[in-house]
């Protein structure tokens, strides 16, 4: 084999395709080793365990990447067709509105056409955004359209456009190319995020994609292999419990963690936040009280869930109003009640700000450390720092639990979904295997003052990855010790509904 001295290479050096690949792979290996020899000497008693733990994830991650998950092309085609039909119906409605009001039709996919419609024909003041050249230019991106919805006469048009854009993204996700053997494979990056969660992307052969943000309706085409059943196991209220654990560790205040462990966090929050409601003291009977309407179509309980999560991460009313479509005054009122019930949470925010300013780094509950290199008095850096503790803690716990599951050797890992894992197992062994998987995902953390944090997990089982429904009887259903369902007959192209 020809020996190539890479130190002598220049952009003008002529190499064959084989030689070019050999140089690339050789440098990839040799330089990685040289870098490791330098960096390994800098590892301390905090960073070395993190490195060793990350190495232990390589085997299960490689196994997931090689195995992939089976794709039912018939169901995928039907789901795409259903979305396309939805988009066609919405497009006809939009054209009818435009024709009757403005006597015109437009290409709603064209930004130029939308700018002309909203800013010239409808005379709405343009929303501007700085482009890559630093110029302030008109825009009709999602943020701009959501701002334009404040103009009542534009709202029906914008609602159609945003919905059709969302459907287009779903269709694009469903059309992600799978491999020749009918399986979808994704490539996981163990060090892909600052919170120890994996990131995912296309695999090394250019197929597959990010499988970690696939919503429920898009999951039905992904199914278990013949003779197997899927289990979706997720950590329950994980980040909220981590927030409560920080409040306990730092201030010896167990109010929020107690609410998390009560069995129904959001109803507990409602009882503390809205003391004027007719509570009984029993969470089971109080849940219907919490489900009463609060604002528009939202219940008190829903508000406790959505606004509580945002408030935990120091969300401000104006910003949260933008994302939740609620009035800032309502959010301010909620936070007044919420922080009165759980005063340790804003104290924790202040503690994080102090640690950030004085130390420049923070630790998760699992002992992982992150340095923050942004401006320490900047709101963006502070928000990242506040989110780091709970999110980083749960990222580590989930991956440790995933490693425990893999080491059991009783199932096949299919996917890692941030706070959950997807596995498949021999369906006739469900009653004995699933409880073991749920238990393996529990990784205890010893807290201060003699308390232990254990994030509970819940399993749903079925023959495909979407939730069970009358239209999807093979979907995931909460595991209660035994499942009496039987898998439907495999779908083929002859079953396709055109």
Task: State residue 492's pLDDT score.
Answer: 62
What's the rounded Cα separation, in Å, for the pair 415 and 65? Answer: 9
Is the residue at 232 inside a domain? yes
Reported confidence tier of residue 286, pLDDT bands at 50, 70, 90: very high
Q: Is the pLDDT of residue 59 over 90?
A: yes
pLDDT (tens digit, 9 = 90+) per residue, 419-436? Answer: 899 999 999 999 999 999
Q: Are residues 381 and 407 in the same domain?
A: yes
Task: State residue 448's pLDDT score.
Answer: 95
Is the residue at 288 inside a domain? no
Q: Are residues 83 and 166 in the same domain?
A: yes
Supply the mean pLDDT for the chain: 90
Q: Are residues 382 and 494 in the same domain?
A: yes
Domain C-terminal end among 145, 174, 203: 174
Contact between 48 and 143 (Cβ < 8 Å): no
Task: State residue 493's pLDDT score.
Answer: 55
Please, what's the b/e burial string for 453-485 (b: 16 or more CB within 10 A of its CB; e: otherwise)? bebebebbbbbbbbbbeeebebbbeebeeebee
Q: Are residues 79 and 214 in the same domain?
A: no
Task: State residue 498's pLDDT score.
Answer: 47
% of the chain at pLDDT higher than 90: 62
Task: State residue 62's pLDDT score.
Answer: 94
Is the residue at 124 inside a domain? yes
Tell me the average pLDDT across 1-12. Answer: 78
Reported confidence tier of residue 23, pLDDT bands at 50, 70, 90: confident
% of the chain at pLDDT higher than 70: 98
Tell me the average pLDDT across 195-218. Answer: 86
Task: State residue 92's pLDDT score.
Answer: 95
Reported confidence tier of residue 296, pLDDT bands at 50, 70, 90: low
pLDDT (tens digit, 9 = 90+) per residue, 486-495? Answer: 998 766 655 5
Is the residue at 24 inside a domain? no
Is the residue at 26 inside a domain? no
Number of domains observed in the structure of the chain: 2
Q: Are residues 391 and 415 in the same domain?
A: yes
Q: Are residues 239 and 98 in the same domain?
A: no
Q: Are residues 195 and 77 in the same domain?
A: no
Tell me the average pLDDT across 366-389. Answer: 92
What's the rounded Cα separation, in Å, for the pair 254 and 246? Answer: 9
pLDDT (tens digit, 9 = 90+) per residue, 102-117? Answer: 998 889 999 999 999 9
Domain C-terminal end among 174, 209, 236: 174
Task: State residue 204's pLDDT score.
Answer: 79
Q: Are residues 206 and 142 in the same domain?
A: no
Q: Are residues 152 and 245 in the same domain?
A: no
Please state the three-class secondary structure of the chain as a single string. Answer: CCCCCHHHCCCCCCCCHHHHHHHHHHHHHHHHHHHHHHHHHHCCCCHHHHHHHHHHCHHHHHHHHHHCEEECHHHHHHHHHHHHHHHHHHHHHHHHHHHHHHCCCCCCCCHHHHHHHHHHHCCCCCCEEECCCCCEEECCCHHHHHHHCCCHHHHHHHHHHHHHHHHHHHHHHHCCCCCCCCEECCEEECCCCCCCCCEEECCCCCCCCCCCCCCHHHCCCEECCCCEEEEEEEECCHHHHHHHHHHHHHHCCCHHHHHHCCCCHHHHHHHHHCCCCCCCCCHHHHHHHHCCEEECCEEHHHHHHHHHHHHHCCCCHHHHHHHHCCCHHHHHHHHHHHHHHCCHHHHHHHHHHHHHHHCCEEECCCCCEEECCCCCCCHHHHHHHHHHHHHHHHHHHHHHHHHHHHHHCCCEEEEECCCEEEEEEEHHHHHHHHHHHHHHCCCCEECHHHCEECCCEEEEEECECCECECCECCCEEECCCCCCCCCCCCCCHHHCCC
Domain C-terminal end among 174, 204, 225: 174
Q: Look up the CATH number of the domain holding residue 92.
A: 1.20.1060.10
Is the residue at 36 inside a domain? no
What's the rounded Cα separation, in Å, for the pair 145 and 163? Answer: 11
pLDDT (tens digit, 9 = 90+) per residue, 245-255? Answer: 999 999 999 99
| Between residues 263 and 379, the one the model is more confident about | 379
Q: Look up the CATH number of the domain holding residue 194.
A: 3.30.70.370
Is the residue at 429 inside a domain? yes
| Between residues 264 and 258, the one the model is more confident about | 258
From 80-84, 296-300, 303-307, the region with the lowest mean pLDDT = 296-300
Q: Are residues 360 and 495 in the same domain?
A: yes
Q: Are residues 483 and 375 in the same domain?
A: yes
Domain boundaries, position 428: 50-68+185-253+344-498
Q: Are residues 247 and 371 in the same domain?
A: yes
Question: What is the distance in angstroms between the CA of the first residue and the CA of the last residue of the chain?
Answer: 57
Is the residue at 463 inside a domain? yes
């Amino acid at each position: 084999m020809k020996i190539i001295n890479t130190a002598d290479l220049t952009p003008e050096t002529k190499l064959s395709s084989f030689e070019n690949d050999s140089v690339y792979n050789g440098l990839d290996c040799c330089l990685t080793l040289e870098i490791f020899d330098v960096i390994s000497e800098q590892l301390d008693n905090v960073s070395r365990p993190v490195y060793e733990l990350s190495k232990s994830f390589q085997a299960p991650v490689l196994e997931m990447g090689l195995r992939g998950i089976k794709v039912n092309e018939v169901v995928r085609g039907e789901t795409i067709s259903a979305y396309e039909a939805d988009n066609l119906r919405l497009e006809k409605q939009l054209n009818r509105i435009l024709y009757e009001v403005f006597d015109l039709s437009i290409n709603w996919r064209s930004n130029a056409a939308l700018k002309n419609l909203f800013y010239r024909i409808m005379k709405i003041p343009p929303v501007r955004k700085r482009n890559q050249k630093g110029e302030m230019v008109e825009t009709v991106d999602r943020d701009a359209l959501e701002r334009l919805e404040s103009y009542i006469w534009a709202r029906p048009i914008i609602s159609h456009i945003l919905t059709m854009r969302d459907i287009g993204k779903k269709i694009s996700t469903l059309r992600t190319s799978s491999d020749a053997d009918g399986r979808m494979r994704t490539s996981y990056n163990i060090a892909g995020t600052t919170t120890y969660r994996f990131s995912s992307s296309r695999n090394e052969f250019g197929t597959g994609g990010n499988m970690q943000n696939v919503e429920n309706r898009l999951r039905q085409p992904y199914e278990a292999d013949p003779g197997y059943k899927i289990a979706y196991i997720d950590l329950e209220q994980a980040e909220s419990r981590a927030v409560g654990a920080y409040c306990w560790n730092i201030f010896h205040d167990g109010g929020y963690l107690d609410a998390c462990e009560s069995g129904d966090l959001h109803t507990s929050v409602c009882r503390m936040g809205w003391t004027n409601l007719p509570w009984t003291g029993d969470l089971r009977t109080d849940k219907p009280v919490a489900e009463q309407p609060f604002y528009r179509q939202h219940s008190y309980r829903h508000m406790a869930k959505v606004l509580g999560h945002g408030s935990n991460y120091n969300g401000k009313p104006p910003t949260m109003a933008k994302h939740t479509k609620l009035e800032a005054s309502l959010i301010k009122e909620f936070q007044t009640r919420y922080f009165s019930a759980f005063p340790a949470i804003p104290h924790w925010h202040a503690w994080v700000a102090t640690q950030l300013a004085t130390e420049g780094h923070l630790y998760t509950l699992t002992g992982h450390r992150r340095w923050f290199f942004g401006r320490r008095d900047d709101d963006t850096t502070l928000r990242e720092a506040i989110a780091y503790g709970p999110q980083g803690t749960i990222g580590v716990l989930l991956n440790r639990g995933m490693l425990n599951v893999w080491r059991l050797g009783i199932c096949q890992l299919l996917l890692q979904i941030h706070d959950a894992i997807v596995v498949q197992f021999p369906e006739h062994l469900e009653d004995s295997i699933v409880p073991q998987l749920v238990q393996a995902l529990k990784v205890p953390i010893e807290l201060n003052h003699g308390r232990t944090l254990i994030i509970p997990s819940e399993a749903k089982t079925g023959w495909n990855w979407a939730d069970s429904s009358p239209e999807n009887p093979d979907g995931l259903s909460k595991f209660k010790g035994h499942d009496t369902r039987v898998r439907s007959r495999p779908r083929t192209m002859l079953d396709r509904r055109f």
